[in-house]
A and B are shown apart, each in its own frame.
Chain A
Amino acid sequence: MTILLQALLNGIMNGTLIAVPAIGFTAIFAVLRFPNFAIAAYATIGAFAAWWVNVHLGAGVLPALIVAFAVAGFAGVAAEETALKGLRGSGALTVAIGSIALNVVLENIIRLYFGNDLRGYDLPIVPDWRFLGLRVGPQQLQSLMIAVAIMAAMFAFLRFTKFGKAMRAVADNADLARLKGIDPAKVALLTVFLGAGLAGTGGVLIGLDASIDPMLGYRVLLTVFAAAVLGGLGSIQGAVAGALLIGIAEECALLVIPPTYRSAVGFIAILLVLTLRPRGIFGERAA
């Protein structure tokens, strides 16, 4: 029983962290209508930017996260404008393939400067807390709260600000939004900034748990995809629900399968859910 509860707890914590980049991915999909594989590189860029200010300037977790958000966001906008924007006319498939190429380029720029070594954030080591036979690290709990705060901020942004409403409008019906005087180019730019920034902060939160290296983003890419697909591509609430589900499914599956197959769980979950409910949990139109 305790083992199951512990798995559930770990799953919720991992899922919450995955939800942050998953929101970024699904938001970009909602507005630009293509799966952006470069989200992996944005997560890695954020993780390394935070690592740099943490180790070289002694920044704490919160300032490092803000730096990660900004650096990944701007990197995302710069990459989108130079490498992907020109492909939009050729269809979603071409942009998606372009984003894979972009991801290879960005990931290897990181590798060129930082090498393949594992790096850890410079943070005090604190013992785990124990209660009712369960174990939880204060660092994990802090990451969890930060992730929840980021999600709350994102929901508030989408619900109450002008830009947030414009984003939802474009996602819902781009033509109608344009008729209402919303500039789709501006909304696209802002969405990419937010999406890449969220991926960047997600990269830090995932890296805080263990270590970072240039493959960090690529390793979680499948899980992020799985979360977004499970929840229904383009749905923000869906991405959160999907991420929690994937997180819990991974931890519970590890009770019966060897841990080396962890990343296969996401794939199996996608196959299962899509066979039963092709649109995902909160899926929008399937067309």
Chain B
Amino acid sequence: MLAYFIFALTIGGIYALLALSLNLIWGGVGLVNLGLVGFFAIGAYVSAILTGAGMPILVGWGAAIIIGAIAGFVVTLATTRLRDDYLAIVTLGLAEVIRLVALNERWLTNGSDGISGIQAPLKSVLGNQGFNLFYMGLVSLVVLVVWALLRRIDMSPYGRAMKAIREDQELAAFAGKNVLSFKVQAFALSAAIAGLAGALYAHFQSYISPDHFQPLITIYIFLAVASGGVGRPAGGVLGAYLVVFFLELTRFVPNLLPDFAPAQFAAIREIMIGTALLLVLHFKPQGLLPERIIPAPKP
């Protein structure tokens, strides 16, 4: 039971990083990334491939962050002159292309068989139980650091400029803010965080395959950010843990309804996730931890 709890907390932390990544652009500059899972996959594969080739784990993680940022930079730059709904469509396409590459370039990714035996840091020293506990601590620490960083950005003039762009980009441009550069920077940083989350995930699972990066994960993260509170880093983190808690809870539903087939359970679970997201958007759009808007100073 304890081992299970530790596992859920680790996955919760990785989802929390993805939620922080999405919140940075959705709550920040008002863009959405429908291909979040693609950047997650990039990070996982980059680190798995590099450490598989003998690089130290920290190099793998660093590379996951850098390649994630570059991918984010390329996508936004290619769609800079476009409206934001075009960007959403392009990110969806990018995730599909990444999935196709992971599936078909066997020389690089081992195709649908996936990459196994990914190094687990210090596992030989700590043993199974110790490693899980250590890794949960490590992931939680990374969440804390990224959260603190994003909160710092959120409170800074830079963060305020981002939110100004979200609210009215023409006005922000008129006030002398370089809208394009803010959007590209925010998107690249967001993609870098998603890449880091992917790397942490790969070395925790020690096995990754294209099946691990289903588009549904993106929906989970949207639910996490929407329910936690768009525009507030702590909201996304809370939402991510809640979503993982909910997902883990639904694992026990099959015991209650033995007449259904496994595929039907998966369907019911996804119906619940989709409905939850719709309900949140309708009835609690500000989320559990609403965005804090600092009142303008009195003259």
Closest chain-A Cβ to B279's Cβ sits at a distance in Å of 9
What interface size band does chain B fall in?
35 or more
1/0 contact string of A220-234 vs chain B (CB within 8 Å): 011001100100010
Compute the total of residue contacts between A and B using a CB distance below 8 Å. 124
Residues A116 and B263 in contact, CB atoms below 8 Å apart: yes
Residues A270 and B85 in contact, CB atoms below 8 Å apart: no
Residues B281 and A90 in contact, CB atoms below 8 Å apart: yes
Residues A270 and B281 in contact, CB atoms below 8 Å apart: no
Q: Is B83 engaged at the interface, CB distance under 8 Å to the other chain?
A: yes
**Which secondary structure dominates chain A's binding surface?**
helix
Interface centre among B86, B92, B270, B278 (most CB of A within 10 A): B278
CA distance A86 to B219 in the complex (A): 20
Residues of B within 8 A of A76 (CB): none
1/0 contact string of A65-87 vs chain B (CB within 8 Å): 00000000000000000010011
Q: Is B217 engaged at the interface, CB distance under 8 Å to the other chain?
A: no
Beta-carbon nearest neighbor of B265 in chain A:
A112
Residues A263 and B100 in contact, CB atoms below 8 Å apart: yes
Residues of A within 8 A of B32 (CB): 93, 96-97
Residues A90 and B216 in contact, CB atoms below 8 Å apart: no
Residues of B within 8 A of A264 (CB): 96-97, 100
Q: Is B88 engaged at the interface, CB distance under 8 Å to the other chain?
A: yes
Q: Is A104 engaged at the interface, CB distance under 8 Å to the other chain?
A: yes
CA distance A270 to B222 in the complex (A): 25
Residues A260 and B104 in contact, CB atoms below 8 Å apart: yes
CA distance A105 to B230 in the complex (A): 22
Residues of A within 8 A of B288 (CB): none
CA distance A286 to B79 in the complex (A): 13
- Segment 230-271 of B: residues with Cβ below 8 Å from A: 261, 263-264, 266-268, 270-271
Q: Is A157 engaged at the interface, CB distance under 8 Å to the other chain?
A: no
Residues A104 and B273 in contact, CB atoms below 8 Å apart: yes
Q: Is A177 engaged at the interface, CB distance under 8 Å to the other chain?
A: no
Residues B90 and A270 in contact, CB atoms below 8 Å apart: yes
- Segment 23-53 of A: residues with Cβ below 8 Å from B: 34-35
- Segment 53-107 of B: residues with Cβ below 8 Å from A: 78-79, 81-86, 88-90, 92-94, 96-97, 100, 103-104
Q: Is A111 engaged at the interface, CB distance under 8 Å to the other chain?
A: yes
- Segment 19-43 of B: residues with Cβ below 8 Å from A: 30, 32, 34
CA distance A271 to B277 in the complex (A): 30
CA distance A229 to B83 in the complex (A): 11
Q: Is A98 engaged at the interface, CB distance under 8 Å to the other chain?
A: yes
Beta-carbon nearest neighbor of A104 in chain B:
B274
Residues B278 and A102 in contact, CB atoms below 8 Å apart: yes
Residues A115 and B261 in contact, CB atoms below 8 Å apart: yes
Residues B88 and A35 in contact, CB atoms below 8 Å apart: yes
Beta-carbon nearest neighbor of B216 in chain A:
A104
Residues A222 and B271 in contact, CB atoms below 8 Å apart: no
CA distance A35 to B82 in the complex (A): 14
Beta-carbon nearest neighbor of A271 in chain B:
B78
Residues B88 and A96 in contact, CB atoms below 8 Å apart: yes
Residues B89 and A35 in contact, CB atoms below 8 Å apart: yes
Closest chain-A Cβ to B280's Cβ sits at a distance in Å of 9
Known: A35-B88, A35-B89. A108 touches B94 (CB 8 A): no
CA distance A229 to B91 in the complex (A): 13
Cβ contact of A261, chosen from B84, B89, B100, cutoff 8 A: B100
1/0 contact string of A185-201 vs chain B (CB within 8 Å): 00000000000000000
Closest chain-A Cβ to B299's Cβ sits at a distance in Å of 31
Closest chain-A Cβ to B30's Cβ sits at a distance in Å of 7
Q: Is A94 engaged at the interface, CB distance under 8 Å to the other chain?
A: yes
Residues A260 and B100 in contact, CB atoms below 8 Å apart: yes
Residues of B within 8 A of A (CB): 30, 32, 34, 78-79, 81-86, 88-90, 92-94, 96-97, 100, 103-104, 216, 219, 222-223, 226, 261, 263-264, 266-268, 270-271, 273-275, 277-278, 281-282, 285
Residues of A within 8 A of B (CB): 34-35, 83, 86-87, 90, 92-94, 96-98, 100-105, 107-109, 111-112, 115-116, 221-222, 225-226, 229, 233, 258, 260-261, 263-264, 266-267, 270-271, 274-275, 278, 286-287
Q: List 16 A-B contacts (CB under 8 A).
A: A87-B281, A93-B30, A93-B88, A97-B32, A98-B281, A100-B222, A101-B273, A103-B274, A108-B268, A112-B271, A225-B89, A229-B86, A267-B93, A267-B97, A274-B82, A286-B83
